[in-house]
Amino acid sequence: MEILIQQLFNGLTIGSVYSLVALGLTLVYGILHIPNFAHGALYMMGGYITLTMMTKYGLHYWIAIFVSILVVGMIGVFMERFVFHPLREAPPIHDKIAAIGILLFLEAFAQFVWGAEFQSMPTPYGQVVQIFGLTFTMQRLLIVISAIVVMILLTLFLKKTFTGSTIIAMSQNREGANLVGINTNRVAMLTFMISGGLAAIAASLSAPINLVFPAMGQLVILKAFVIIILGGMGSVPGAILGGYILGFSESLGATYISNDYKDIIAFVLLVLILSVKPTGLFSKGGH
């Protein structure tokens, strides 16, 4: 029983990180219909920038995360401006390849600047807490709580503010949004900014319990794709729900099936879903 609860909590932790990454991916997909393969690289950059801010400049954890959000958000904006914007009329195969080009560049860049070795990120929240006789590390609790706070803030932003509504409007109908006077270029940049910021938060939160290395984004991004297919490409609640579903199935699968093959679970899930329904679960019809 204790193991089960522990594993459920682990699932909640991993799921929170997955949800944050998938949210950024799904927002971009909703707006521009681009599967941004470079999103994993944004996640990785987020980890490295927070790490550098903390170790090299001695900033506090939260301030380091804030800097990282800004920097990675800006990388996202540049990506939109210099790569995806010029390609918006091109056939769909092109922006996928361009995204791969960016991914390769950023990974090589990280390896060049920070080296290929694994690095661990210090955290001010290393202590262990006891709740109902169960032991949790502070950092894991922090991941869950911060992730939920970020998700609530994002939902409020999208639902309640004018700027948020423009994002929703544009994801529903690009031409329509343009017609009613929404500056679609600005919205696209904003979305990339948010998407990068979310990736930076996810990486900075999870890095202390994982590690920081150039390829750290690869597996996470693949799983994020599984999640947004699970939850419907472009759907915000779908990404959150899908993230937690995957988090739980992985942590339970690791305990009760096999730890070696836990990374395959996500992909087997995807293969099953797409075999049954080639357009993904909850798809909103062709785009």
Partner 1 sequence: MAKVQRIAILVLILLAIIFPIISQNDYFIHVMTLSFIWMIGVYGLNLLAGYTGYLSLAHAGFFAIGAYSLGLLTVKAEMNFWPALFLSLVITGVIGFFVGLISLRTKEHFFAIYTLCVGYIIYLVIDKWDSLTEGVRGLIGIPAPANIGPLSFETLQSHYYLVLFFLLLVVLIMYRIVHSLSGRTYIAIRNSEDLAQTIGISTMKNKLTVFVISTVIAGLSGALYASFVRFIGPDIGSIAIVFDFLTYLLVGGIGTLSGPIVGTILIVVLSQRLQFLQDYRMLVFGPVLTLLIIFYPRGIVGAVVSWTQKRKASFHQPIIRAKKLPEEQVKEG
| Smallest separation (angstroms) from partner 1 to the CB of 90 | 7
Shortest distance in whole angstroms from residue 67 CB to partner 1: 24
3-state secondary structure the chain: CHHHHHHHHHHHHHHHHHHHHHHHHHHHHHHHCCCCCCHHHHHHHHHHHHHHHHHCCCCCHHHHHHHHHHHHHHHHHHHHHHHHCCCCCCCHHHHHHHHHHHHHHHHHHHHHHHCCCCECCCCCCCCEEEECCEEEEHHHHHHHHHHHHHHHHHHHHHHHCHHHHHHHHHHHCHHHHHHCCCCHHHHHHHHHHHHHHHHHHHHHHHCCCCCECCCHHHHHHHHHHHHHHHHCCCCHHHHHHHHHHHHHHHHHHHHHCCCCCHHHHHHHHHHHHHHHCCCCCCCCCCC
Q: Cβ 76 to partner 1, closest distance in Å?
A: 15
Complex with partner 1: residue 88 or 155, whichever CB lies closer: 88
For partner 1, give the closer residue by CB, 93 or 131.
93
Residue 94 or 159: the one with the smaller Cβ distance to partner 1 is: 94
Question: Minimum CB separation from partner 1 for residue 243, in Å?
Answer: 16
Nearer to partner 1, 111 or 137 (CB): 111
Provide the angle, in degrees to the nearest 10, between the axes of the packed helices 2-32 and 216-231: 80
Query: Smallest distance, Å, CB 192 to partner 1?
Result: 15
CA–CA distance, 134 with 216 (Å, rounded to integer): 30
Q: Which is nearer to partner 1, 96 or 284 (CB)?
A: 96
> Is the Cβ of residue 63 or residue 108 nearer to partner 1 in the bound state?
108
Instruction: State which residue, 86 or 176, has the beta carbon closest to partner 1.
Output: 86
Whether 138 and 128 have beta carbons less than 8 Å apart is answered as yes
In angstroms, give the least distance from the CB of 189 to partner 1: 18
Q: Which residues bind partner 1 (CB under 8 A)?
A: 29, 33, 35, 37, 83, 86-87, 90-94, 96-98, 100-109, 111-112, 116, 218, 222, 225-226, 229, 233, 260-261, 263-264, 266-268, 270-271, 274-275, 278-280
Shortest Å, Cβ 31 to partner 1: 14
